[in-house]
Chain A
Amino acid sequence: MMLTQTRRAFGKAAFAGLAAAAFAPMGRARAAETPLAFQSIWINDPEFIGYFIAIDKGWYKEAGLDLTYLPGGPDVIPQASLLTGKADIALTSLIETASAVSEKGATFKIIGAQFQKSPDSVISLEATGIKSIKDLVGKTVACPPLSLGTFKVLLGLNGVTEDQLKIVPYAFDPTPLATGQVDAVVDFMTSLPFIVEQTSGKKASYLLFYDFGLPFGQDLVTVNEETLKTRRKDIVAFMRASRKGWDEDFANPEKYTKEYENTWFKGNGYTPEAALYHSRIQVDLMKNPNGVFAMDDAWIASNLATLDKVGVKADKSLFDTSILAEL
């Protein structure tokens, strides 16, 4: 099937090429575009819609980039893609990136933050009455192994000790929360509360890590220091086009979510309602008066403070704001 499509597409392209030879502009841009591989952090969902908009509108192309978008997944470690050269630019998480720099000697630079506030949350049914982290005492919480360290720090900051609650592993599936096998789960609040409400028929609520003593950003745009030196122009172009994509999304988050149901999101089987919820709720976590990706001094200071609390050594040099200054 793929083959026939490609052939058909090729046929079309060949025909278009003949036509273009007569009417000039179309074919010209190709030679000028520089390849740039962008490693995302998870599978295609509304979390990355800003980039999809910029791709579909041709904004990377206009900026002279031939962008390859690589979706993420459980086995994909975006920082590793930077090290193997599979990707030139990647979305990463703060703690992992900082510890790779301080403990493994990687030379990563964070050049922008897609989420000002990370969607990491403690999610529960409203009826359970969890209104602060302190309310988790005596409860059972499902937490992904990868977030366990951070979650324990969060508990400590809120005066809860580990033995005051029961922590079980959590692997993407919200059913235990809906059926009451656990009282809360640690996950992004961008779609889970909606799905739990749909399946259990009860209202769900969430507490952001950000609001309970652990402020940090998420989906941090990260590059190798080397790339920053050698491909500065391309990185600036990427950031500019991506910001344009996100601004377009913020202006009307529902429009593109609906539009992409059968293209970018095709195959993942999300209900349109869940995708819409996701698109709407994430906007406030990303917006910044200085534009999306902004990293102001206060934000950097609070992220460094969080790293200090979870025991990862880092300083200001982890972040490079010079690209943002050029946008």
Chain B
Amino acid sequence: MKTQPARENARILFGTLIFFAIWEFLGATTSWGIAMVPAPSRILMQAFADRELYWLHGTATIQTSAIGFAIGVTVAVVAALLFCLSPRLELAFRGINIALFATPAIVIGPLLVLFLKGDWPQTVLAALMVYFPAMSATLLGLRTVDPRIADLVAAYGGGEGKLMRYVRLRGALPDLFAGFRVAAPLAVLGAVLGEFGSGTRWGFGAFLLSALPQGNPARLWGIGLASSAIALAGYALFLLPARRLSASSTAVTLAAVQKAARPSGGWAWQRIALAGIAVALPFVIWWLAVTLTHVSPIIAPGPGRTVMFLIEGRQAAGARAALLTALGQTLPVALLGLLAGLAFAFALAALSLLAPAVARALLPIALVAQNMPLVAVVPFVVLIFGRDVTASVFMAMLVVFFPAYVLLHQGFTTVPRAASDLVSAYGGGRWKQLVHIAVPYSVGHLFAAAKLVAPQALLGVMVAEWLLSGVGLGNLLNVSRGGLDYDMIWAGALISILISVAAYEAVGFIERKVGR
């Protein structure tokens, strides 16, 4: 859309101004506005009054996010290099990789707090959030080598070492930065979630926790928006080098679409063995960690004890019933949130094709909402949606829609020129383009999006259950913590991870069936 960019910019500016004017008016004059959605001017004034606190907490959050990010991407890049050199290794680590990606942060947070001291729980949480997207983007970049260049290296007598040095590493840079771009806001979200729970004194998460009972909505909004701004700054930071490196912005999120590497010329039994290792490895590491650290089994039961907790003994039936009830409450809401989020993302992506100006005006709001830490969103969600299913669905939608939108939008815009030209040549408008070309063409992206965000939907719902609805898996884990029922917590964690992994694999399976 190259038509009159100046006029469009003016329109966007005008729309933004109207948006803030309406907000200011409603927030300052209506009773619910004053109590729940304070006017922008009030938020700014409160933030100005709190400027010293913002500095203290902001620097702490930035520091934690940055350290967590550095650790996460370092491990991710090293892992990606190893996986690139040995696809077998990647297959063996597949279980760990997906478990790390799928584990809801809210489940790991309290477990990290058990064992780590100082700022480490929130730092490690940030690092864990970063690892998978950064690793898979880097790996994608390393693997995508133009065969002609590879042939060239080979023709001049270069081996894998030379290929890695001259081609792969350089070629991977745009993907690397794209991965960092997605990972940086996640580091901030992980840090803030960690700070909220860990009992630290500094950081926006801690500030949010102490501000919650103060009945000061302007301060709550300020903290949420400031955290969002830090997360967005992280995104922007890696936008620049990426732009400089390549004009064609390679989509990071595509990483989730990549097919698992197959060892070349492997035997069937070898593949089965690797798959077995992939499944077993997370459990072996869990067992080793528990056994070697000698932590009280009340707190850290091993995999065996956790599974037996659900199968054997007088508590098993009760525990199973409690978990099943919780799952019955959580899963439908998560699924609903996932579908609603995907639908909204689809609508927004379609809108960007039909009415680009509207989509562009909505995008900043979407970006800010997406990067608000979940715990910071809770107060507003309660105030606006109450505490029933709608609120939980909304929370799930919130985490789901943006990554899904990015992918879908990319799917829509990478439609081959020839295909859309054909529709135009026959006089078809934007609507026809969408229905006949863009939608069918981006089915693959839709699946990729679903795979990427399915575990996130569970996270959104569990945070909602923990802090606002008091039902389901999120609540069960919270209440069990108070009763020191760590058997239940580890069992709940295990089940939620298995469900996330199953959702991820199921979408992948459908995708492969459809793709053929």
Contact = CB atoms under 8 A, between A and B. Distances in A.
B482 interface: yes
B316 interface: no
Interface in A170-217: 171-176, 178-179, 187, 191-192, 195-196, 198-199
Interface in B104-156: 109-110, 113-115, 117, 121
B198 A76 contact: yes
A83 B478 contact: no
Contacts of B468: 169, 171
B451 interface: no
A146 B199 contact: no
Interface in B361-405: 378-379, 382-383, 387
B197 A75 contact: yes
Contacts of B201: 43-44, 71, 267
A146 B479 contact: yes
Given A83-B299, A146-B479, A178-B215, A76 B197 contact: yes
A187 B213 CA distance: 10
Interface in B179-218: 196-202, 206-207, 209-217
B484 A77 contact: yes
Interface string B214-257: 11110100000000000000000000000000000000000000
Contact of A84 (B32, B296, B475): B296
A104 B486 CA distance: 9
A6 interface: no
Contacts of A199: 215-216
B484 A75 contact: no
B28 interface: no
Interface residues of B, number: 58
B312 to A, nearest CB: 17
B197 A84 contact: no
A145 interface: yes
B387 A74 contact: no
Contacts of B295: 83-84
B483 A100 contact: yes
Contacts of A266: 56
A196 B216 CA distance: 11
A268 B207 CA distance: 6
Interface residues of A, number: 54
Contact of A105 (B196, B199, B298): B298
A145 B475 contact: yes
Contacts of A168: 387, 470
Interface in B475-515: 475, 478-479, 481-486
Contacts of A72: 199
Contacts of A71: 199-201
B482 A96 contact: yes
Contacts of B42: none
Nearest to B197: A75
Interface of B is mostly: helix
Interface string A59-77: 0000000000011111111
A269 B210 contact: yes
B469 interface: yes
B32 to A, nearest CB: 8
Contacts of A324: none
A191 B298 contact: no
A106 interface: yes
A303 interface: no
Interface in B384-432: 387
A76 B199 contact: yes
A169 B59 CA distance: 33
A104 B485 CA distance: 8
B207 A175 contact: no
A104 B484 contact: yes
Given A73-B198, A198-B215, A267 B56 contact: yes
Nearest to B487: A104
Nearest to A106: B298
Interface string A227-271: 000000000000000000000000000000000000000111111
B36 interface: yes
A266 to B, nearest CB: 8
A114 interface: no
Residue from the set A74, A104, A266 with the largest chain B CB neighbour count within 10 Å: A74
B485 A77 contact: no
B375 to A, nearest CB: 9
Given A72-B199, A145-B475, A106 B484 contact: yes
A103 B484 CA distance: 9
Contacts of A12: none
A321 B110 CA distance: 32
A60 to B, nearest CB: 19
A66 to B, nearest CB: 15
B113 A274 contact: no
Contacts of B56: 266-267
Interface string B436-468: 000000000000000000000000000000011
Contacts of A268: 206-207, 210-211
A178 B35 contact: yes
Contact of B470 (A1, A169, A267): A169
A74 B196 contact: yes
Please indicate which of the listed interface residues A100, A171, A178, A195 has the most CB atoms of chain B within 10 Å of its own CB. A171
A80 interface: yes
A6 to B, nearest CB: 13
A288 interface: no
B50 interface: yes
Nearest to A81: B114
Contact of B212 (A106, A172, A267): A172
A116 interface: no
A68 to B, nearest CB: 9
B53 interface: yes
A96 B478 contact: no
Contacts of A173: 212-213, 215, 379, 382
B57 interface: yes
Nearest to B479: A145
A302 interface: no
Contacts of B59: 1
A88 to B, nearest CB: 14
Contacts of B219: 269
A148 B479 CA distance: 10
7 contacts: A1-B59, A71-B201, A84-B295, A146-B478, A146-B479, A148-B470, A169-B470
Given A43-B206, A179-B35, 4 more contacts: A73-B209, A84-B295, A178-B215, A269-B214
Interface of B: 31-32, 35-36, 50, 53, 56-57, 59, 63, 109-110, 113-115, 117, 121, 196-202, 206-207, 209-217, 219, 295-296, 298-299, 378-379, 382-383, 387, 467-470, 475, 478-479, 481-486
